[in-house]
Structure 1
């Protein structure tokens, strides 16, 4: 039985809509819900370490698109206590010693998506800074030592690094269907870059959050999308779907009532995190409960400990939960389970799953449209490139992306 207890609680003041923890160090960054600012804490005791952008203008009645444009993007260095913050202003680097602008390191960047390469030697930025109309079809890779800027593949939303090393997952988003693209990390290249692989997941619709790997590398969880609070979990390296659900009420057809929109927005977009115990996924809810999902047993238990709507959730490197609430609190929660259930993954086993995945696929052709060359799966069915080109029938039970593909193929055949 899992014992869940609050060990620390601090008042943040303004709300926090996203929590991003350092991969190894006891540091967590919180994206402010009311202004483009980022707060930092030592998450061992929730000690305040400072704020980036604390004097920035509040969002107020800004539109959804304007808020999205101004919302900061944050990325932690994989080893060092260094946070890089990209927003509508200059790119800023934060360390415990202070913060500084990084304009000389990232010319042309700012307000874009950033992620450190898993080896920490490069910053990946999307879209490309080349200024072309199709800049979102490419990205930049900036070597931190030499300031060399190289070309990278298309990616959006964020980068998830597999804990075994050498592999990352990201999104190629499109309203008609989103690809979860996997890429091997090429450390022999300067700067370190991504080599996109032909094996990919396909998701319906768009507007998903950055994927999350479990600490043991066995699962990949994805929150989204634009039309509902979907949650999907896939086993890795098989990519078999082991969980698919909607948090709250599903979308009511074509008519979105104000009540349903309010219900949908009550769920945080950043409310899931894998626990230290293998196969455990935590979900924060609008009622303040924490749901403990056992992916192995296909069961769930609710823990009523927070008492206020969860606006963001993450886990520390040692397995505690850090929870932000609608009342403006940040809460540290200990999770104690039977010690025999917690098995820390060995480096060799982590790497083995990456090796198995890499051995099952190959690099996609450089500068190619991944959809043309990808071997796709939705976690239940598989499609080779020539399969999708031949699809001409689909039912309302099929995902909308497959229905669109069938309609496109029918129109093509009629033109011919």
Structure 2
């Protein structure tokens, strides 16, 4: 845990300051490596870390601290192992970065990969992988209640929707703001059933979304209380928190005969396929964006492609319209 008093670690022996941590450590985001032996912190609190330009990698066993790539918000582990997803956010656009993590290595180092998703604007939550590793969901954003789901490892879009009414634009009516704030920011989860996303609503219901058929079924769960959070346990049960202080654990009957062993095999194959289809960004890279191969799930851009974009339509994402306008202005000034 990090706060005004620095970094604190809870162990069976009590609360202590992790050895090697900067005395003034005050991270915005923390995550453990998959093996639990390394702590990742962002932004960097090292004297030479450059703040948001890098992150910190703390080996809990040796107390040594090193440099990691820039990231924010949180880190999600792919169930197939050896792969994580995180965000690099900016007001104009957010990159969903994928990275290799060497299993069994100490410290566990985040090695960013070339393939990345690009999302419009910022304000997203930590990415979420399905239990079988075949989908990744991202809840956002700063301007509306968006939910985007991508197939994995292809990164093809599986679902893109807005919860409630879409943004009417600035100035925002108070009625719309109240509606937007009624939705929890932590209200999506993947359970044990493959290809199904669960969404908790302000009405206290759970919406079951079949990502293949795009059909949705609503289930009454909470009475007289809005859903304030939704999560899944390691075994696939759903845990729903209500604004009235209630906590409900749900077991979902599945018609799938897929065993946990089969699910692990599927997720492992998905992770391997993704890793084999891309490569690591060079360690001496000073700017990740100059190497990333970006996709929104439909189109793909190399770094050189974006540098040449000088026009965009009103239906293009905001980040692409801004990039085109900046590039066109530079061309006109030459």
TM-score tier after normalising by the smaller chain length: over 0.9
The answer as to 2:256 corresponding to 1:348 is: no
1:202 aligned to 118, 127, 130, which one?
Answer: 118
Query: Of 73, 87, 100, which residue of structure 1 is paired with 2:15?
Result: 100
1:7-406 to 2 correspondence within 5 Å?
A: 85-94=1-10, 97=12, 99-107=14-22, 108-131=24-47, 134-187=50-103, 190-307=106-223, 308-338=225-255, 340-344=256-260, 345-366=262-283, 367-406=285-324
2: CA distance, partners of 1:281 / 1:301: 11
- Alpha-carbon shift at residue 415 of structure 1 (Å): 2.1
SS in 2 for 1:123: strand
Give the whole-Å Cα distance in 2 for the aligned partners of 1:94 and 1:190: 21
TM-score (norm 2): 0.94
2 CA distance for matches of 1:392 and 1:221?
31
Per-residue deviation at 1:396? Answer: 1.3
- State TM-score, norm by structure 1: 0.76
CA drift of 1:265 comes to 0.5
**Deviating 4+ runs (over 4 angstroms):** none
Query: Structure 1 regions of 5+ residues with no counterpart?
Result: 1-84
| Residue aligning to 2:327 | 409
SS at match of 1:109: coil
**Partners of 2:154 and 2:294 in 1: how far apart?**
12
Higher RCO structure, 1 or 2 (CA under 8 Å, sep 6+) = 1
* Cα deviation code 1:142-180 (max 9, x no counterpart): 111111111110000000010011010000000000000
Q: Distance in 2 between matches of 1:314 and 1:189?
A: 30
Distance 1:148 1:132 in 2: 15
For residue 33 of structure 1, what is the aligned residue in structure 2?
none
Which has the larger displacement, 298-307 or 232-241? 298-307
Cα shift at 1:94: 3.6
Paired with 1:112 and 1:284, the residues of 2 have a C-alpha distance of 26
Cα distance in 1 for residues equivalent to 2:257 and 2:316: 39
Aligned length: 330
Query: Does the aligned pair in 2 maintain the 1:204–1:399 contact within 8 Å?
Result: yes
